[in-house]
Amino acid sequence: MKFGNMSRIGKKPVKIEKGVEVKIDSGFITVKGPKGELKKPLLDLIETKIENEEITFLPKNEDRSTGAFWGLQRALVQNMVDGVTKGFVKKLELVGVGYKANVQGTELVLDIGFSHSVKIPAPEGITFVAEKTSITISGIDKALVGQISATIRQIRKPEPYKGKGIRYEGEVVRKKLGKKAAGS
């Protein structure tokens, strides 16, 4: 196959690590590992094969959009293999006087300046760990960990004047000057 712009990511095979079992059947890929099992649909445009402890990907035609999905398919499968072996973690920080988080059963309970506590149930495969002003979200599905983190951050985004709110660990919030400081 000859492509004008070949996918550098799509050409790389995904190595199947020890203790990981991969099956491809009827348009789905299933990856089992020490941390759990993930199952996702495969794209029809990309041919996926398991050979010599590696998963390889080849586009079925020379269409431009197929080339774009080639790298995507490989990245998604790599994330599945990484998830069942290592897992994924996102950390959030609470910044503000009296802001705190704790875990009750499988629910995350946030006290972040509202008149009521905000309760977030943990979806299947997600674990919350809370220490006063930090929240750790972990799981085997990278997309789900990222989505839950973004949803929690959206509840009280960092505001630009005092910097209060929920932010990702290491996120820098640019502060604005208030009316008095800007006017003088």
pLDDT of residue 183: 61
Domain 88-168 CATH class label: alpha beta
pLDDT of residue 56: 93
- 23: tokens are 């099956």
pLDDT of residue 35: 94
Domain parsing of the chain, residue ranges: 8-85, 88-168
CATH placement of domain 8-85? 3.90.930.12
pLDDT of residue 124: 92
Torsion of CA 33, 35, 41, 47, to 10 degrees: -30
DSSP state of 155: H
Q: Which residues of 56-72 are buried (b: 16+ CB within 10 A; e: fewer)?
A: bbebeeeeeebbebbbe
- Cβ neighbour number for residue 171 with a 10 Å cutoff: 12
pLDDT of residue 66: 86
Q: Which amino acid is at 135?
A: I
pLDDT of residue 86: 95
pLDDT of residue 6: 67
- The tens digit of pLDDT for each residue in 26-67 reads 899 999 999 999 999 999 989 999 999 999 999 988 887 788
DSSP state of 175: P
pLDDT of residue 20: 94
Q: Which residues of the chain have pLDDT under 50?
A: 1
